[in-house]
Amino acid sequence: MSFQEKKLPADAPIADKALNWVDARFPVTSTWKAHLSEYYAPKNFNFWYAFGSLALLVLVIQIVTGIFLVMHYKPDATLAFASVEYIMRDVPWGWLVRYMHSTGASAFFIVVYLHMVRGLLYGSYRKPRELVWLFGVGIFLCLMGEAFMGYLLPWGQMSYWGAQVIVNLFGAIPFIGPDLSLWIRGDYVVSDATLNRFFSFHVIAIPLVLIGLVVAHIIALHEVGSNNPDGIEIKDNVDAQGVPLDGIPFHPYYTVHDIMAVAVFLIVFSAVVFFGPEMGGYFLEYNNFIPADSLKTPPHIAPVWYFTPYYSILRAVTADFMIWLIAGIFAYAALIWFKTGLSHKIKFAVVIIAVLISVAMGIFPSVANLLNLNVTFPKFLAGFDAKFFGVVMMGVSVMILAGLPWLDHSKVKSMRYRPSWHKYIYILFGIAFVFLGYFGVQPPSAVGNIISKVCTFIYFGFFLLMPWWSAAGTFKQVPDRVTYHPH
């Protein structure tokens, strides 16, 4: 196709002529139509659907405030803490930029967690949105990496020792662990080399990947269309022009809807920034206002609140907990054997995998300890230590989210039309997740450890048993058209 510009009248406004010139060379108008003015979203969106836009807003806040912080920050172990104090005390409005960035980190995870809750409630990960969900999980992983790398940069006590603990966890990986930890740190301890590489990842590498995933997430979403509280595909009911009967243009209807959500969010965000940026030590720990000291360990080291559910799972996996994990693995293998229609080859493979994992977990020493037998096993039967499997379970607890589109076998997408008892499973999962987060912040205790172990089983049981419980019960009839009540 040859290059063409739309012919406009000679007396057309100069703005129209400029836009026409740009449109012939760059798809401004067509992009606006495809993703805003002619992107038809379901007309029954509720407040849960504002968190995607809020996440985009917080991303912009973090990038903009981060740019201003980098102008004054020194990625040097001897100067980093002092440069943060300089930003707080001497840079005009530096305290505001720093608090917006630190509060924005927690706000980002709050908004993203709520965005994921909406996906769980309304089945937004189900066909045809599997790739949208996978991009979202990738965004979540990037956020975790970005937050972890950025947490070290203030070079306070909790920053330093938190990074020391987390990086040392990689040392539990068999064979490659010590070398991997050394490569991540760039030194034998967390030092200036660690600070420099974390700074480069936090400022350049991870944000580039994150922005790319966000763009891919939005493009994939607009290709298949948005889900809605009823879980009905609005593209199945269209008029003669192909416009969904139950859809309305995203702009101006949902841009106004989201502006209202943005206004409420900014009021709450501003209140936190101005009146409680530390949020009682959850957003900014008090130990992080003390310069990093490699010779003085804080009495209690814990990650920031948004990591604590997974950190609690890590701490729950102890030597005495391994026998229960092994029992759970064999019980799950038995469930697959007796309650699925898989071929016998696949079932045998599952049993063999369960046996191998149990041996790696140290089933023989665990049983010997349970029976108080003093037996020495060969190295290949002794299994790996609990610390390694704690790291594994911590990683799997995040990665298992990517399997949701294939674990959920429900006949319907939305919680509205599932059996009423399904909501209690979601509530139980939510309570377990909150408890894991709470006890991950607290110092280790006997009661907290027991509750964390129970909640770890509930957390993994929610996902691993989903193929069975999600398909059980009597489902309600899903209407042909979305239910919408104008207000």
Q: Return binding residues for heme b.
A: 101, 115, 202, 217
Dihedral (CA of 149, 151, 157, 158) sign: negative
What residues form the annotated binding site for a ubiquinone? Answer: 222
- Helix runs in 153-307, H state only: 157-169, 177-185, 192-200, 206-224, 255-275
Q: Is 329 left (phi over 0), alpha (psi -120 to 50) or beta?
A: alpha
Return the number of other C-beta atoms located less than 10 Å from residue 385's C-beta.
15
DSSP 8-state assignment for residue 473: S
Beta-bridged to residue 156, according to DSSP, are 291
Beta-bridged to residue 248, according to DSSP, are 41
Please enumerate in sequence order all residues whose Cβ is within 8 A of that of 6, keeping only pairs 6 or more positions apart, or say none.
Answer: 20, 23, 24
The type of residue at 350 is V
Pick from 461, 443, 149: nearest CA to 315: 443
Inter-residue contact 294 to 124 (CB < 8 Å): no
Inter-residue contact 228 to 247 (CB < 8 Å): no
What residues form the annotated binding site? Answer: 101, 115, 202, 217, 222
Q: How far apart are CA 355 and CA 300, in angstroms?
A: 37
Helix (H, G, I), strand (E, B) or coil at 40: strand
Q: How far apart are CA 206 and CA 217, in angstroms?
A: 16
CA separation, residue 265 to residues 38, 53, 110, 261 (Å): 27, 11, 11, 6
CA separation, residue 76 to residues 70, 73, 204, 429 (Å): 13, 9, 17, 43
Backbone angles phi, psi at 192, to 5 degrees: -60, -35
Q: How far apart are CA 436 and CA 393, in angstroms?
A: 14
Q: How far apart are CA 16 and CA 29, in angstroms?
A: 11
CA 408-412-413 angle, 5° bins: 70
